[in-house]
Amino acid sequence: MSKAHEDASPSTYVIDPEQAAELARLMQQERVVTEGMGGLFPEGQELPEDGRVLDLACGPGGWALELAFAYPQLSVYGVDISASIIEYARAQAQSCRLENVHFRTMNIMQPLAFPDGFFDLINARFIAWFMTPAAWPRLLAECRRLLKPGGIIRLTEGEPPLTTSAAFEALMDLATRALQRAGQSFSPDGRHVGITPMLPRLLRQAGFEEVHLRASAIEWSSGTPAHDGFFKDFLIAFEIGRPFSVKLGLATLEELERLSQQAVAEMQQDEFCAVSVLLTVWGRQPATAPASTSEQEGQPG
């Protein structure tokens, strides 16, 4: 392991993951997104008996917990950088008496403490908001190390929603421009996160085969079942995400508070319309697994 990997990398999370409000937001988001996408594997993934699944940046563990409940024969692992959120996920697993799910505190921007070829499937959702462009190839190489031959990597990302709220659109514009200014975006001009067009190529460049795409459109206009969940998600995100834009000089705290108040009012109007489009991209580990890191560096294993 290189010294660069040994040293703790600076946090690139745009929101402090230790905040209680962020825990509440992630819990809300996991429920509404899984339901809106049509379940755990709407693209029809098939998992082997007694397989192992890893959920990267698992947050409070909603997806991993639901998977462990639906597939009791699987061993499910979730990792996240936040120790407090991992403790919450463990408490949830204990209260649900789920013994086939395991949560550990790890930073996915660093090598993960699992052996080579350990997992049959690796899942991640919405990690683009803290990943840098340079970090993606390193993470995908680590996923190749961790996957068994023929194993699956499955990533779900999205760009900001499309809505009829002028204030909401202004806030999303500030958020994506802040990411671009911070060097955490693939967008050339900051108008988008830029991850969705990049995902298929990133997987192919990492050496994954049989790369496929599936889009999910979730409407959360006023009066729809998903509206309340998305409204609460963004209500919290507006508040705890303000320091990021202020730090990068894109707006003042007063400007962000005014826009947030206006967006909240507009999202509650009867005529409010919104849709979030998510893209799931998955690929297969080649039948011949890559050499381990030590073998690639010419060191004894």
pLDDT, tens digit, for every residue of 188-203? 999 999 999 999 999 9
Average pLDDT over residues 163-175: 96
Indicate the length of the chain as a whole number.
301
CA angle 175, 126, 174 (to 5 degrees): 5
DSSP H helices, the chain, are 3-6, 20-37, 62-70, 83-95, 135-146, 166-181, 199-205, 227-240, 242-247, 253-267, 293-296
Where are the domains positioned within the chain?
3-296
Homologous superfamily, domain 3-296: Vaccinia Virus protein VP39 (3.40.50.150)
What is the token pair recorded at 228?
């309340």
In this prediction the pTM is: 0.88
pLDDT at 15: 63
All residues at 6 or more sequence positions from 87 whose CB lies less than 8 Å from its CB, including other chains: none
Range ranked top by mean pLDDT from 20-24, 185-189, 290-294: 185-189
Q: What is the pLDDT of residues 229-256, one digit of tens each?
A: 999 999 988 988 888 888 888 899 999 9
Estimate to the nearest angstrom the gap between the alpha carbon of 120 and the chain centroid.
19
pLDDT at 290: 55
Average pLDDT over residues 163-177: 96
What is the token pair recorded at 122?
């690796």
Measured distance CA(39)–CA(56) in Å, rounded: 18
Average pLDDT over residues 8-20: 60
Estimate to the nearest angstrom the gap between the alpha carbon of 237 and the chain centroid.
15
Closest CA to 162 of 5, 276, 41: 276
